[in-house]
Structure 1
Amino acid sequence: MLDELLVAWIGHQRWFGGKGRPIDRLSVESDVELTSGLRHLIVAVWQEGSRDRYQILLGQRYDLPDRLEHAVIGQFHDWLLYDAAHDYELTGWLLDGMAADEDRGDLRMRHTPGVTIDTSQRSLVLGAEQSNTSLVYGDAYICKLFRRLIPGINPELEVVAALAARNAPHIAQPYGWIECDLDGTPTTLAFMQRFLPNANDGWDLALTSVRDLYNSAPGIGAAEAGGDFAAESRRLGAATARVHHELAEAFPTDVIETHEVKRMAEGFRRRLGRAVAEVPELREYVGALEAAYHLVEDLTVEVPVQRVHGDYHLGQVMRTPTDWVVLDFEGEPGQPLAERRALSSPLRDVAGMLRSFDYAARHLLAGHADAATLEPRADEWSRRNRAAFLEGYAEAGGVISADGQALLRAFELSKAVYEVVYEARNRPSWIGIPLAAFRQDAF
């Protein structure tokens, strides 16, 4: 009966990764009572022969207040079951457990050495996330519940803890985590760090700047518009270089030899082939893209690799009153854990941010009545802020050699190819944004 309720409910959750495919079966692998009315479940969901695991905070009440109606799972005997991540009367347990380094059943709750957790804070669920659920406790903490569970330590916990131990700047203080063993491997269930109540999202700040430019009088350039973002882009470039330096100090580094660089270029080319087969609009750019990838194949130098962010864009950075802070070091959630932890060129992060500047410049043009008129302004804003970011990156010690320029361009173009496929599948009206990266004058 519980399995049937969960099957009917889980497929509609925004963090469920198997939407659009039938659920063959669901089973509860772990069921731990945390406190009265609150259980922690790990469920296995089988679809088309493959299994994914998810965690659920299961609340049970006889009567449900109106504020929890949206979280209802269903009726089970005399109980109403619901997603208790939304119940601030129960989620204080997470703080209590981490503060006390408590073990409960298979769960281990821990706090970062040297910190004190204020357990009086009340939680509120953030509504914007897709793959996880984040609880904000007052103005103090943000606790991310990793809904889909992959055996192993989550890279976000691993990276932020290592950088905090070095007193690295540009990160949010870690406070605690929750883990259990899956398949005999310690696995991160939740991670809590400092909340930044007075910070602004980098994407929102960039869009404000773009709007200011679009609304300015004809002839006013990005440098003269009221919301010029270039100084912030430069600071962000410097912060990015410092984070890369700290990552290189905290974790092992290596180099990839020329034959491995050629294999990397082959990977770019294979992804392009698959993309062209799915999105014919890419076909006219294949020659120019192949030429860019060929420059990588011709490199005769070793390429330094290290731990990187792995999913770097304007939505992953926050501007506090004093500086930029980098968040979400877990990499791309849909990728295997080993791939997210693998060493890579820091230019991959740089390329991701450059693409994000281009998206910020152009995404307001989708469906805009004056898109053709505003296109030159989008170009100017993107070029100005990309250049400022790269200047800040170089000034703070980020290295982009002459050979690195070819690799950076290949990373950026490969990212744009991925974006074209994504937009074709999900937001066809936006496909022009990444396609603009392939225009001849962009090469």
Structure 2
Amino acid sequence: MSGALNITAATVDPALLDLPWELPLENWPNEAIASLPKGISRHLVRFANLSGYVIAVKETTAEMAKGEYDMLRTLQRLDIPCVDPLAVITNRSDRKGRELPSVLVTRHLKFSLPYRALFQGTLRPDTATRLVDALAVLLVRLHIVGFFWGDVSLSNTLFRRDAGAFAAYLVDAETGKLYEGGLSNGQRENDLEIARVNIAGELLDLEAGGRADAELDPVTVSNGIVAAYRSLWKELTGSESFDASERWRITERVHRLNELGFDIEELAIKTTDEGSTVRIQPKVVDAGHHQRRLLRLTGLDAGENQARRLLNDLDAYSASFGKDGFDEEMAAHEWLIRVFEPVVKAIPRELRGKLEPAEIFHQLLEHRWFLAQNEGRDIPLAEAVGSYVNTVLRHRRDEATMIVPPTEAISIPAAMTGPVDWRDLV
């Protein structure tokens, strides 16, 4: 290797030094290359094997490599789905001392593929629509944190199969910029128009190459990202006002967000001076880590679905009772002793063996929400407990918990968890 490489990385894998950095990327030998499908890129990108995993190496300028590396690390800290940046390598030269381009090294996202590799033969309309919907979700998440992409396209995205749908990950942040004050409507609309035009072009290219189903309309599909984006943006960021007597509408909003695949991190709830109107503003977070967070905060060991529902209620409790300024652990402790434990103790002793406490709690919350939906009013917890015990729990056969897991027996897919007022138990 000629010269001395400059490597910028949080942690450096020593095996990185064994790759042929003295060669232009296009001349790397086959033994150093991993055979994986690549998307379309304005820069040369190659995959390489490294210490049991695969890396993507992109040749670019030193300034752009460093900027994209920093941006990807920032997006990771913001929990944005994106590739993992590993290193920036500069000061490359060949054996004759001639300068070579700098490179950005990222970890290949396992089980992910560029959009052109996600279908065999021709792209069907429903597959194209699912890809565009996944990209719309990613774009909304980026805009929520104030990230302007500037080059939104299927080609700059990696996709993972996700239970009949797709999950989208940002793979190219080269043109992106993060605005601390958030994006203006004009910036968001600009990104959205870029996405619409680029997607139409990519699908038209597939059509011209005979790789699109005859029924696929590139323009219609590309326009779909506009509708999907705007619908999701409104649901995730829009505030909602209603009468204070209609507190059940808080859980109705949570229900809609859950059905879109998002979980509530916190609820900002404001009331008027007269206390007659409630205004809610949700803050959403991706699914995941619920079991560990619940265990860390409360010591309760629950299933993932149970944990999600209990945490939603914990956050709603904190927002409703002005605990936002509390230390998270203190708020969780108060919720545990004033909400969760009183609910469990309110269950008749002879029925407590029917289900584990976490399952009883989340079923009670759902039962309370159903009552509120049917009657159009907020249901006091004491009333909900009595109804749940007498109409659901008391008639549940003990063997049902052995035949069907309790969570699977619940028909609705989302967490319906409004704040439990512990004072109802007194």
Structure with more relative contact order (C-alpha pairs < 8 Å, separation 6 or more): 1
TM surpasses 0.5: no
Structure with more of its chain in strand, by fraction: 1
Q: TM-score, normalised by structure 2?
A: 0.28
- Please say which structure displays the higher CA radius of gyration: 2
